[in-house]
């Protein structure tokens, strides 16, 4: 059984028309690009490095890109960053209407700019197309949150199922980081936070692919942190325990109670708690890098 939280969780006061970047002449992309990434109906002009009067007169706010942002952890992260004054670029792989609605509410509530995209993070061409549309944006923070799980015996897992978990959870971090790093280096600033899991270090029976992918995220985080440390760009990860999201609704109430009983805090984490941890981590000095920080209520 595969459970998707790529849509877990959610930049510009003015709304604009729908911008399908696979169309011949979309509003913000005049070049032919992959149909795998689609700008939403709530999309508005991105905060490009322009010398126009509007940009000169606008106070520059930090800009964050959050993947898997239409519900759960990603949506909570988007809201928490907006509350701290971040403009947002938000992606999801499937549920664009939900993401658009959430982004509009965040923009109204916090007075920030939001731009939404349908983008499969496990597809390198889709990620390249997304960044081609975004251009040389002044990106401040990348949060790689998108991910899916697969519950079942390894010997019964198909090759396509394995590949989907690895591409969504691990390869997407590579694709987004590869595209974002030049933007960070161009401005000599930036930060990367990867959302991982305690199963990346402890491993979970019946979740071999998920555990392997999150173990890869942890190693990816530590290695990339060493690579980018000389440039002052921190790379860290949050290894989450059980979070009360749709991803864990696949368990019965009896199973959830048994799982809750294993956690010293005697409860699941809320998405808002993970989001607050992301905000705090984003505000830390760049000398804090290469860390996989566990947030699990004392469980593992």
Which run of H or of E encompasses 295?
strand 292-295
DSSP output for 123-179? -HHHHHHHHHHH-S----EEEE---EEE-S-GGG--HHHHHHHHIIIIIHHHHHHHH
Mean pLDDT of 226-230: 98
Q: How confident is the model at residue 284 (pLDDT cuts 50, 70, 90)?
A: very high
For 192-216, what is each residue's pLDDT tens digit?
Answer: 999 999 999 999 999 999 999 999 9
Tell me what pLDDT residue 234 has.
98
Which run of H or of E encompasses 98?
helix 96-110
For 182-191, what is each residue's pLDDT tens digit?
Answer: 999 999 999 9
Active site amino acids: 210
For 151-181, what is each residue's pLDDT tens digit?
Answer: 999 999 999 999 999 999 999 999 999 999 9
CA 128 to CA 187: how far, in whole Å?
A: 20
Q: Is the pLDDT of residue 270 over 50?
A: yes
3-state SS record for 206-241: CCHHHHHHHHHHHHHHHHHHHHHHHHCCCEEEEEEC
pTM, to two decimals: 0.84
Closest by Cα among 226, 296, 294, 232 to 260: 296
Q: Percentage of residues in the chain with pLDDT exceeding 90?
A: 77
Tell me what the pLDDT averaged over the chain comes to: 85
Q: Is the pLDDT of residue 220 over 90?
A: yes
- Phi, psi at 170, each rounded to 5°: -110, -55
Closest by Cα among 92, 32, 98, 105 to 65: 92
CA 296 to CA 237: how far, in whole Å?
A: 13
- Report yes or no: 81 and 278 within 8 Å, Cβ to Cβ: yes
For 93-105, what is each residue's pLDDT tens digit?
Answer: 999 999 999 999 9
54 three-state secondary structure: helix
Tokens of 164: 């989907």
For 131-144, what is each residue's pLDDT tens digit?
Answer: 999 999 999 999 99
């Amino acid at each position: 059984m595969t459970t998707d939280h790529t849509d877990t969780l959610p930049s510009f006061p003015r709304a604009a028309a729908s911008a399908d970047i696979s169309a011949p002449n979309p509003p913000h992309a005049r070049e032919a690009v992959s149909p795998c990434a689609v700008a939403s109906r709530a999309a508005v002009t991105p905060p490009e490095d322009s010398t126009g009067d509007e940009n000169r007169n606008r106070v520059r706010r930090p800009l964050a890109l959050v993947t898997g942002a239409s519900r759960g952890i990603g949506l909570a992260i988007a809201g928490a960053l907006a509350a701290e004054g971040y403009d947002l670029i938000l992606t999801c792989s499937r549920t664009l209407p939900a993401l658009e609605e959430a982004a509009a509410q965040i923009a109204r509530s916090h007075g920030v700019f939001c731009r939404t995209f349908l983008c499969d993070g496990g597809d390198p061409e889709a990620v390249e197309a997304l960044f081609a549309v975004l251009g040389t944006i002044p990106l401040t923070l990348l949060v790689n949150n998108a991910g899916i799980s697969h519950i079942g015996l390894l010997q019964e897992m198909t090759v396509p199922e394995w590949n989907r978990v690895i591409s969504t959870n691990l390869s997407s971090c590579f694709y987004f980081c590869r595209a974002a790093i030049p933007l960070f280096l161009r401005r000599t600033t930036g930060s990367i936070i990867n959302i991982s899991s305690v199963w990346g270090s402890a491993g979970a029976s019946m979740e071999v692919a998920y555990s392997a992918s999150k173990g890869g995220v942890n190693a990816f985080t530590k290695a990339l942190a060493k690579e980018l440390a000389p440039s002052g760009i921190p790379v860290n990860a949050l290894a989450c325990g059980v979070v009360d999201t749709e991803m864990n609704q696949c368990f019965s109430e009896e199973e959830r109670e048994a799982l809750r009983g294993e956690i010293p805090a005697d409860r699941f984490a809320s998405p808002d708690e993970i989001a607050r941890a992301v905000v705090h981590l984003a505000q830390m000095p760049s000398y804090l890098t290469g860390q996989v920080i566990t947030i699990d209520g004392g469980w593992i």
